[in-house]
Structure formats: C-alpha cells, structure tokens
C-alpha cells in the first residue's frame, strides 16, 4: 500500500491543559495539506452518544470509580466501532484527542483501580485496536493552561494530577515503539515542530517519501 493510502491512527495524550486540542488541530492540518482525508475526534464525546456520556461523566455529580471506568469504556467502544474503524478502513488519518491510555492513567493509577483491569476493559471494548503512534504532551501539572470552568476531573487535587503524569511517563517508557514524548512547555509552534519531526523520524510523515 502506498503512503498516501495507508490508514494512520494517531492519539494525543497528557494531563489537563497541556495544549492537546491546539496541537491536534495543527497536526490534522499537516496531513490535510498533504492531501489526506483526516478525521479529528476525541474521547470522551466523539459521537452523539459519546457527547451525552461526556456530559454525564464530567459535568454530573459523584460517579463511583468503577462506574466511571465503564462509562469511558462504553464511550470508547461506540466511538471506535462507529467512527474510527470505518475511517481507518477508508484509508483516512485519524487524529484523536485521548484514547485508552487516558483510562489507564486516570482511572487506573489515579483512581486506584487495577491497571491491568482498566487496560483490559478498553482492549475488550475496542477489539484490541492500538494507535500507530501516541504522542504524550508532557508538562508539570502546575504549568497547565486551564481555561473556563473546571470539569469534575480537572477539579481533582495536585496529587491526582501528579499521579496521572507519572503514569503517562511510565507507560511511554514501557512501550517506546508506540509512544512519542514531547516536552509541552515550549511555544505552540515549537511543540508542533517537535511532533512533526518525531513522526517523520518514524516514517509517519505527512509528506510522501522521496
């Protein structure tokens, strides 16, 4: 299959307020300018059902940690089956804000659920779909740029967010062939340039190979 038809599944991960959505938009633009079909999506909330689940999980009252893990997994199952897999089957590039690693970091490490259970639940939900590359935008929680009213998870304390960050870094260290760790403390342009360079060095560039 030529590069221009090869489906690509890229996910962005990191703590709250690290700039994922800006970087997602710029990354999508890179592939679009190279003539690719790009699907920009996110979890939770990439589908109509997902938007309802997102509202319930993030803006409702207390949710039991196991119920929370199941709701993120339900959003994910529906999103992958109805939007992401069909896009990949058409040969599109999917650039996604958060995926199963967010569940491992937030519900697994920081909520004290068994990490293997949480990961297993998401793998079951998605029939084992893993990204071609996962970009971790790494930033100390103290430097995060949060705007607007905070959601239920953003309101968690500093210890929670520090545990989430450590879990992301651990996952990246354990699976370096999938993860790309980017220092997110630079300017928007510097961070985007670092992402593009890292993808290119792995043969995942938007530019066709010479």
Answer yes or no whether residue 154 interacts with ligand TMP by CB under 6 A.
yes
Q: Residue 36 in contact with residue 128, Cβ under 8 Å?
A: no
Which residue from 157, 179, 178 is spatially nearest to 16, judged by alpha carbons? 157
Answer yes or no whether residue 79 interacts with ligand TMP by CB under 6 A.
no
CB of 35 to ligand TMP, least distance (A): 29
Q: Which of 16, 40, 132, 138 binds ligand TMP (CB under 6 A)?
A: 16
Q: Residue 25 in contact with residue 95, Cβ under 8 Å?
A: no
Q: Which of 36, 98, 161, 167 binds ligand TMP (CB under 6 A)?
A: 98
Answer yes or no whether residue 7 interacts with ligand TMP by CB under 6 A.
no
Q: Residue 24 in contact with residue 99, Cβ under 8 Å?
A: no
Answer yes or no whether residue 167 interacts with ligand TMP by CB under 6 A.
no
Helices (DSSP H) in the chain: which residue ranges?
20-33, 48-59, 65-79, 85-89, 100-103, 115-125, 158-174, 188-201
Size of the site for ligand TMP (CB under 6 A): 13
CB of 207 to ligand TMP, least distance (A): 29
Answer yes or no whether residue 44 interacts with ligand TMP by CB under 6 A.
yes
Mark residues 113-152: x for contact with ligand TMP by CB under 6 A, - for none. ----------------------------------------
Answer yes or no whether residue 50 interacts with ligand TMP by CB under 6 A.
no
Q: Which two tokens stand for residue 52?
A: 């309802």
Q: What is residue 8's three-state secondary structure?
A: strand
User: How far, in Å, are 45, 50, 77, 78, 105 from residue 81 at the CA level?
Assistant: 14, 12, 6, 5, 23
Start-to-end Cα distance in the chain = 15
Nearer to ligand TMP by Cβ, of 118 and 194: the residue is: 118
Nearer to ligand TMP by Cβ, of 9 and 106: the residue is: 106
CB of 210 to ligand TMP, least distance (A): 37
Name the residues that contact ligand TMP, by CB under 6 A: 16, 42-44, 58, 72, 98, 102-103, 106-107, 153-154
């Amino acid at each position: 299959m030529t590069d221009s038809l090869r489906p690509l599944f890229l996910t962005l991960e990191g703590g709250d307020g690290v700039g994922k959505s800006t970087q997602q938009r710029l990354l999508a633009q890179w592939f679009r300018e190279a003539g690719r079909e790009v699907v920009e999506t996110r979890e939770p909330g990439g589908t109509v059902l997902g938007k309802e689940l997102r509202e319930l999980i993030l803006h409702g009252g207390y949710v039991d940690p196991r119920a929370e893990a199941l709701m993120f997994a339900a959003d994910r199952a529906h999103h992958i089956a109805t939007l992401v897999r069909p896009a990949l089957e058409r040969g599109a590039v999917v650039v996604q804000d958060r995926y199963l690693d967010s569940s491992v970091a937030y519900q697994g490490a920081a909520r004290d659920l068994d990490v293997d259970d949480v990961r297993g639940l998401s793998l079951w939900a998605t029939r084992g779909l893993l990204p071609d590359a996962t970009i971790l935008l790494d930033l100390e929680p103290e430097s995060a740029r949060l705007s607007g009213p905070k959601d239920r998870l953003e309101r968690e304390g500093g210890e929670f967010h520090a545990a989430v960050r450590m879990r992301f870094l651990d996952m990246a260290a354990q699976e370096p062939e999938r993860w790309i760790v980017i220092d997110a403390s630079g300017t928007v342009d510097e961070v985007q340039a670092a992402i593009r360079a890292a993808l290119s060095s792995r043969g995942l560039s938007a530019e066709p190979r010479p």
